[in-house]
Amino acid sequence: METKTDVLLGLQWGDEGKGKIVDVLTPHYDIVARFQGGPNAGHTIEFGSKKFVLHTIPSGIFNKNTINVIGNGVLIDPFILDSEIESIRTSGVDVFKNILVSRKAHLILPTHRLLDAVYEKAKGKDKIGSTLKGIGPAYTDKAARKGLRTGDLDQADFEQRYQKIRSQHLKIVSLYQVDFRDIAIEGIPFEAYEKSWLEKLAVLQQFEKTDSEYFLNDALAKGKKILAEGAQGSMLDIDFGAYPFVTSSSTTSAGVCSGLGIPPSKVGRVFGIFKAYCTRVGSGPFPTELFDQTGEELRKKGHEFGATTGRPRRCGWLDLPALKYAIMLNGVTELKIMKADVLSGFPKVKVATQYKINGQLTETVPFDPERIEAEPEYRTFEGWDEPLNEISRFDDLPQQLRKYIQFIEKETGIPIQLVSVGPNREETIVR
């Protein structure tokens, strides 16, 4: 019987714990597919005493019966992909057998990384806080119809096309009065980095390349189960995030259709995941951000440092208007709350229920929250002291936390059917 694709995506500013939950859900799926973003993502998976961080490889990789697809909407950097392969080698998975790469996925070229660095530097205090993985420039070239795709590697004129776009990029860099030889990428001077990048193309060529839209639609027709794995978060979406402090892809469920070639009628359940509080890495508006000791505590207890860049994440209370906005945009059918354990020990837990803008209360996320002052109105809950990571039944959670969860369910109208109480696979409560 024909099936539909389920989707799991982050409802906040990324790093909600998508990697962990995709890994937890993978045994129920035949295929896990990434549909957008690129190595700006850092998805952490922990089981036993092992910890892995994935950037391009879908988080279904640790189940040997699951096929992992890197869809057409994803950007691939062979240098980073190679380092990921190395980092998971100890786990014993056969990456070349279990991963399919779309021929239509675009490449991040070394000069995209140069451009990202140059543009970001030129923005000065208005910088986006990009991960500098070349995401913006590579999606720009895709839209400008001059990007290179993995399928182009098999064409005789690849080298020629590469040189052409490279020299265009270097001209742009020179306009910024920067000598490209002075820029280091991944800690390596540009020319040495580029040499290594070109060598890693051979690694990318070892993967089976497919027209993944055919592969996925055929799989659905045969009754196979597919899980689409989001990267970043809804509040970083190119259209719906606080532009320009966004990433360059459609991070919402709409991205599944364009990023995998799956029609809207074949999208099934939409799992929205969010932290019990909020974090953001990089610049841009964050109405509930805490600049005090409580924010510092959240960062410390939640180990809130970027999985891709190591940067400290900004921390604050849960923002319900933003959460409701993301639920609306994605058509979320089920919620999963993450890192509830981090809130243990806080005397009070707060949640923003509305914003005050020019003296008026509203639940609407403003057009330009950077310039329009949105002051959160909070509802305060009693905290709890018990550690949660050994609890396995919802009913055994502290009553104060259950109250907090029930409040979010009532406000959003969506059931919370999973509570995550630790980074490990096992530390997961399914209701």
- Tell me the catalytic residues: 15, 43
d(C-alpha 347, C-alpha 344), whole Å:
9
- State the CB neighbour count (10 A cutoff) for residue 14: 29
End-to-end CA distance of the chain: 27
- 19 touches ligand GDP (CB under 6 A): yes
A 10 A CB-CB count for 125 gives 5
Site track for ligand IMO across 192-231, x = CB under 6 A: ---------------------------------------x
- Least distance in angstroms from the C-beta of 100 to Mg ion: 23
CB of 414 to ligand IMO, least distance (A): 21
Figure out which of the listed residues 68, 150, 217, 247 binds ligand IMO, where binding follows CB under 6 A.
247
Burial category of 411 from C-beta neighbours within 10 Å (exposed 0-12, middle 13-18, buried 19 and up): middle
At 156, the amino acid letter reads A
Span interacting with ligand GDP, options 10-18, 218-226, 291-299, 355-363, rule CB under 6 A: 10-18
* The residue type at 177: Q
Residue type, 365: V
Q: Which does 420 bind (CB under 5 to 8 A by kind): Mg ion, ligand IMO, ligand GDP, none?
A: ligand GDP
Number of residues written out for the chain: 431
**What part of residues 78-137 is at the interface with ligand IMO (CB under 6 A)?**
128-131, 133, 135-136
Residues 126-185 that bind ligand IMO (CB under 6 A): 128-131, 133, 135-136
Cα separation, 327 vs 273, in Å, equals 10
Q: Which candidate, 14, 89, 5, 7, places its Cα nearest to that of 50? A: 89
Q: Which two tokens stand for residue 159?
A: 């080298």
Question: Under DSSP, is residue 143 helix (H, G, I), strand (E, B) or coil?
Answer: helix
Q: Are strands 188-189 and 184-185 parallel, antiparallel or unpaired?
A: antiparallel
Task: State the Cα–Cα distance between residues 391 and 397, nearest whole angstrom.
Answer: 7
Scanning 32-40, 220-228, 257-265, 333-341 for contacts with ligand GDP by CB under 6 A, the matching segment is 333-341
Q: Of these, 80, 105, 226, 281, which contacts ligand IMO (CB under 6 A)?
A: 281
Single-letter code of the amino acid located at 414: I
Minimum CB distance to Mg ion smaller for 15 or for 82: 15
113 binds, among ligand GDP, Mg ion, ligand IMO, none (CB under 5 to 8 A by kind): none
> Is 304 a residue that touches ligand IMO (CB under 6 A)?
no
Rounded Cα gap, residues 15 and 249, in angstroms? 16
- Tokens at 385, concatenated: 């002291």
Q: Quick check: 420 binds ligand GDP (CB under 6 A)? A: yes
Q: Which is nearer to ligand GDP, 342 or 351 (CB)?
A: 342
- Binding flag, residue 260, ligand GDP (CB under 6 A): no
Residue span 342-381 as binding mask against ligand GDP, x where in contact by CB under 6 A, dash where not: x---------------------------------------
Give which of ligand IMO, Mg ion, ligand GDP, none residue 111 binds (C-beta under 5 to 8 Å, depending on kind): none
Instruction: Kindly state whether residue 17 participates in binding ligand GDP, applying the rule CB under 6 A.
Output: yes
Nearest residue to ligand IMO, using CB?
282
Buried b (16+ CB within 10 A) or exposed e, 198-221: eebbebbeebebbebbebbbebbe
Dihedral-angle region of residue 303 (phi above 0 means left; psi in -120 to 50 means alpha; beta otherwise): left
- Interface segment toward ligand GDP; rule CB under 6 A; list 35-43, 125-133, 196-204, 346-354: 35-43
Burial class (CB in 10 A: 0-12, 13-18, 19+), 306: middle
Residue 13 to residue 68: CA distance in whole angstroms: 24
Q: Residue 42 or 60: which CB sits closer to Mg ion?
A: 42
If one asks whether residue 104 binds ligand GDP (CB under 6 A), the answer comes out as no
* Position 26 contacts ligand GDP (CB under 6 A): no
List interacting residues with ligand GDP (CB under 6 A): 10, 14-20, 41-44, 46, 303, 307, 338-339, 341-342, 420-423
Binding site for ligand IMO (CB under 6 A): 10, 13-15, 40-43, 128-131, 133, 135-136, 231-233, 236, 247, 281-282, 307
